[in-house]
Amino acid sequence: MLDKVNKTVLDNGIRVLSQKMPHFKSVSIGIWVNAGARDEALSESGLSHFIEHMIFKGTRKRTAFDIAREFDAIGGQTNAFTSMENTCYYVKAVGTHLNTMVDILSDIFLNSVFHEKDVEKERLVILQEIGMLEDNPDEYIHVLNGSNFWRDNSLGRSILGTRENISSFDANAIRNFFDLLYQPDRIVISVAGNVEHKQILDLIRPCFESIKQQNSFPERKKPEPFFDSNIHCKEIEQAHVCLGILGIPITSQKRYTFSLMNTILGGNMSSRLFQQIRERRGLAYSVYSFINSHTDTGMLGAYACVEHKNTSETINLVLKEMRKLKVERVSSDELNHTKEYIKSALLLSSESNDNQMVRMAQNELNLGKSVSIQKVLDKIASVSKDDIIELAKELFQTGRIALTILGQRHDKNTYDDLLIL
């Protein structure tokens, strides 16, 4: 198994995590902020993602080209992403370039200038990104599904924001939002590779201990889900269908059972939805179930892309498999195969220092502690058939299903009558 996770809390509250992986030549570093699209008011929607773009556009001593050139000069892979609850900036390079990696990454994180001219240029890029999303129905359906399920709560909005907001944000709005959200007690720096913890601290401490705590962080509101049918008309060849069920938080003790149940339902090629809808009937090329879990709530969803005439049949098949999970215990073979699938995926991912960097940070942000791979394996192994059937009974209930369809005009009443669990 891997070496233990080392953790140090700096004087200002920033948490530094590291895991030594002695057989690796590369080092993966991520600066994580426990702030994302969920922490935006309606008028601020899109600011977290806008900041992610602007971080790479220049500092007091580096232009955007300097940043790109210096990362390329060490063969570094760098990027960033924004989620509902977190934002991450990361770099991976050969460990001999560790000093340079930290120098550039800390500079763009701490010293970005947010020039108005750069905001104007990046505004156009993000507007293009919104257009690309809306032109991809297999991605856009998930935005519509979230909006239908969470409604006015920030979890129901696109991470990219709206065209109106993106067109209105200026450098001051971006800078003020950055100062409000990027507070030291919400920052985790996660490092995985062939490095020593003291080596990391010696590089990070002088830079990051200068960050001061600012005003209070905006309170997150736990949303109430809405269970309704929502049809979005668009002249496309196929219907994109999402069903949403209230799930459980990522912090729940039932999360291992939840993961197993999702995998059985539609998480891989041997799953029930894949076999019933694609393999046996040929109704869809793409069909799967998925989990969107947050710190205080979550969603279990099912997606399929089908011909319009097959929409009702497909929805019926998805609901049929959900009902079966409530009343029939899974077989020993199916449960054991699913456990092995998840355990193997976890072990294989542990061979990547990128994945370990992410895993350490997410455990710290979501649970406030490190969770060993062995403990996760033991928890997965302990899930029983009764655990799955009890969770299915808890979650799969008539009147607690949201249906979202993107495609040609459909009769909403037709589908309302189908949503029975």
pLDDT band at 1 (very low <50, low <70, confident <90, very high): low
Q: Domain 229-416 is of which CATH architecture?
A: 2-Layer Sandwich (3.30)
Output the pLDDT for position 219. 86
R_g of the chain computed on alpha carbons:
23
Residue type, 273: L
Whether 196 is a known active-site residue: answer no
Instruction: Report d(CA 143, CA 312) in Å as an integer.
Output: 22
Q: Give per-residue pLDDT as tens, 342-367.
A: 999 999 999 999 999 999 999 999 99
Output the pLDDT for position 368. 94
Instruction: Report d(CA 14, CA 176) in Å as an integer.
Output: 20
Instruction: Report d(CA 221, CA 241) in Å as an integer.
Output: 28
> How many other CB atoms are found less than 10 A from the CB of residue 398?
11
Residue type, 148: N
Answer yes or no: same fold for 6-208 and 229-416. Answer: yes
Provide the mean pLDDT of the chain: 95
Across the range 368-386, mean pLDDT stands at 96
Instruction: Report d(CA 299, CA 395) in Å as an integer.
Output: 10
Q: Give per-residue pLDDT as tens, 35-72.
A: 999 999 999 999 999 999 999 999 999 999 999 999 99
pTM of the model: 0.93
Q: What number of CA atoms fall less than 13 Å from residue 374's CA on the CB side? A: 4
> How many other CB atoms are found less than 10 A from the CB of residue 61?
9
Q: Where are the chain's structural domains?
A: 6-208, 229-416
Burial class (CB in 10 A: 0-12, 13-18, 19+), 70: middle
pLDDT band at 3 (very low <50, low <70, confident <90, very high): low
Pick the catalytic residue from 52, 85, 122, 321. Answer: 52
Burial class (CB in 10 A: 0-12, 13-18, 19+), 251: middle
Q: What CATH homologous superfamily does 6-208 map to?
A: Metalloenzyme, LuxS/M16 peptidase-like (3.30.830.10)
pLDDT band at 131 (very low <50, low <70, confident <90, very high): very high
